[in-house]
Amino acid sequence: MKVAEVVPEFADAFGFEEFNRMQREAAPAILERDENVVAAAPTASGKTALAELAICRTLERGGTALFIAPLRALTNEKESEWERFEELGYSVYVVTGERDLNPRRAERADILVMTPEKTDSATRKHDSARYSFITDVDCCVIDEVHLLDSDTRGGVLEVTVSRLRRICDPRVVALSATMPNIEDVAAWLDAPPETTFEFGDDYRPVDLHAGVRTYTHGDNAFADKYRRLYTALDLAEEHIRDGGQALVFVSSRQDAVRAAGKSRDEIGKRDIPMGARGDYDFHTEAKELADDELAKAAPDGVGFHHAGLAKDDRDRVEEWFKEGKIQLLFSTSTLAWGVNLPARCVVIRDTKYHDPLEGEVDISPLDILQMLGRAGRPGYDDVATAGSSATAPTPTSTGNCCARARRSSRGWRRIWTPTSTPRSRWGRSATSTT
């Protein structure tokens, strides 16, 4: 099924020529019907193309499309990818909290790209001249709709979409990672069974080898962090030596900075050939970064990414990682969902984060699934390795390890079944701890 045959006027807006199996199955419901759509499919299976098809249908009728994405890294990514729509004469406008809003540009936009929080405030103030553009939306694509499950942000998304439907009743196209209660989301959005899709793991185009690497923890949480960091480097090393790139998720901004610093020393000790010290232009560009630590690390091929960085610095890091100038990137959850990065290897170093009210909290199975899903994106790699570190089953820690695996069993099992367990090359697989 060729893109040029399905949407001839918009063929240049797509980054490929032929739809894949998942897209072929969902496309008719998006292009030939008008009902709301809910589609759940594995990470990297090409859900963006479903959004783009819905956008094409809207544009061809002279309408305005709104794309809601939960991360700034994603809204930025769409802004650069959708220059292709601009080249076709349509205007794309990004509205997020970190940019100044130009109401006239928003009003004129054919495609609006917004975060749920910004859509929330725009829909609340839709009576004002500044935000009246939101009342013109004909089609609303919600990317990563499983955000509904988030304690903090889910409610915002739910109320925002409900308000938007009351204000202008757009067609809603909701895209999601595999989730257990897709029928509930479809019922909420009034999407009939004919336009509700659930695609299984076999629709992921790139094989994902996933596993858990255990380590023996001590009494000192700080020392444990370093143990996990060395484990992460052990896992990443072979891929980096092989010319690939690794993305390591850590739990805080400070951890991302520290881990990058420590890794530079370790990479030197291990004599891993990486970095672009000889590249004069890259060196000069790195010096222009606002963050000094990042400026020091980048020429060694190491970077970090978190929400506290200036937007320009974040953009640069993403760009350099895409170009392979940064081969080892430490990130907080800023890059966890939906972002396309050339990571052949993803490691989740920390499976807990610090919540100011509740203390140490396990990250959700959905976040784990999404982070692992950053590995092996089509177009970048044809094989991927991903995994997380967990405490070793010593007599003192077995309970902890098993309890965690059991508590989040649904998410874990989804990750490791059905194909990845037998091929797992790492110590213990999650299924064996459940």
Ligand X SMILES: Nc1ncnc2c1ncn2[C@@H]1O[C@H](COP(=O)(O)OP(=O)(O)OP(=O)(O)O)[C@@H](O)[C@H]1O
Residue 176 Cβ vs ligand X, minimum distance, rounded to whole Å: 8
Indicate the residue among 205 and 261 with the shorter CB distance to ligand X: 205
Q: Which does 373 bind (CB under 5 to 8 A by kind): ligand X, Mg ion, none?
A: ligand X
> Residue 340, CB half-sphere, CA atoms under 13 Å: how many?
18
Q: Which does 15 bind (CB under 5 to 8 A by kind): ligand X, Mg ion, none?
A: ligand X
What three-state secondary structure class fits 53? Answer: helix
Give yes or no for residue 45 binding ligand X (CB under 6 A): yes
What x/- string results for residues 82 through 121 when contact with ligand X is judged by CB under 6 A? ----------------------------------------
Q: Does 333 bind ligand X (CB under 6 A)?
A: no
- Contacted by 378, from Mg ion, ligand X, none: CB < 5 to 8 Å by type: ligand X
200 binds ligand X (CB under 6 A): no
Q: Which long-range contacts (CB under 8 A, 24 or more apart) does 414-422 make?
A: 414/178, 414/201, 414/365, 414/369, 415/210, 415/365, 415/368, 415/369, 415/372, 416/210, 416/211, 417/201, 418/201, 419/201, 419/202, 419/207, 420/207, 420/208, 420/209, 420/210, 420/211
- In angstroms, the CA 90 to CA 74 distance is 20
The listed partner (ligand X, Mg ion, none) that binds 177, CB under 5 to 8 Å by sort, is: ligand X
Longest CA–CA separation in the chain, Å: 65
Q: Which of 46, 170, 275, 299 binds ligand X (CB under 6 A)?
A: 46
C-beta of 412: minimal distance to ligand X in Å?
18
Nearer to ligand X, 73 or 134 (CB): 73
From the list Mg ion, ligand X, none, partner contacted by residue 404 (C-beta under 5 to 8 A by kind) = none
Region binding ligand X by CB under 6 A among candidate stretches 13-21, 106-114, 276-284, 355-363? 13-21
List, in order, residues 6 or more apart from 15 with CB less than 8 Å away.
81, 84, 379
Q: Which residues have CB under 8 Å from 261's CB, separation 6+? A: 293, 297
Q: How far apart are CA 256 and CA 259, in angstroms?
A: 5
Per-residue binding letters, 18-47, with Mg ion (x by CB under 5 A)? -----------------------------x
2 binds ligand X (CB under 6 A): no
CB of 48 to Mg ion, least distance (A): 5
Binding to ligand X in span 377-406, by CB under 6 A = 377-379
Query: How far apart are the C-alpha atoms of 406 and 431, rounded to whole Å?
Result: 10
Using CB under 5 A as the binding criterion, the count of chain residues that bind Mg ion stands at 2
Residue nearer to Mg ion on the CB measure, 47 or 404? 47
For 286-299, give the DSSP string: HHT-S-HHHHHHGG
Q: Is 1 in the site for ligand X (CB under 6 A)?
A: no
Q: Are 28 and 59 in contact (CB under 8 A)?
A: no
CB of 254 to ligand X, least distance (A): 27
The residue among 49 and 401 lying less far from Mg ion, judged by its C-beta, is 49
CA distance readout (Å), 422 to 60, 176, 211: 47, 27, 10
Residue nearest Mg ion by beta-carbon distance: 338
| 247, 341 contact by CB (below 8 A) | yes
Q: For residue 14, what are the contacts with CB-CB under 8 A and spacing of at least 6?
A: 3, 7, 49, 52, 84
CA neighbours closer than 13 Å in the CB half-sphere of residue 314: 20
Bond prior to 418 in cis (omega within 30° of 0):
yes
Q: Which of residues 330-389 bind Mg ion (CB under 5 A)?
A: 338
Positions 359 through 378 that interact with ligand X (CB under 6 A): 373, 377-378
Minimum CB separation from Mg ion for residue 421, in Å?
25
Which range, of 40-48, 146-154, 272-280, 327-335, touches ligand X by CB under 6 A? 40-48
Binding site for ligand X (CB under 6 A): 15-16, 18-20, 23, 41, 43-49, 177, 338, 340, 373, 377-379
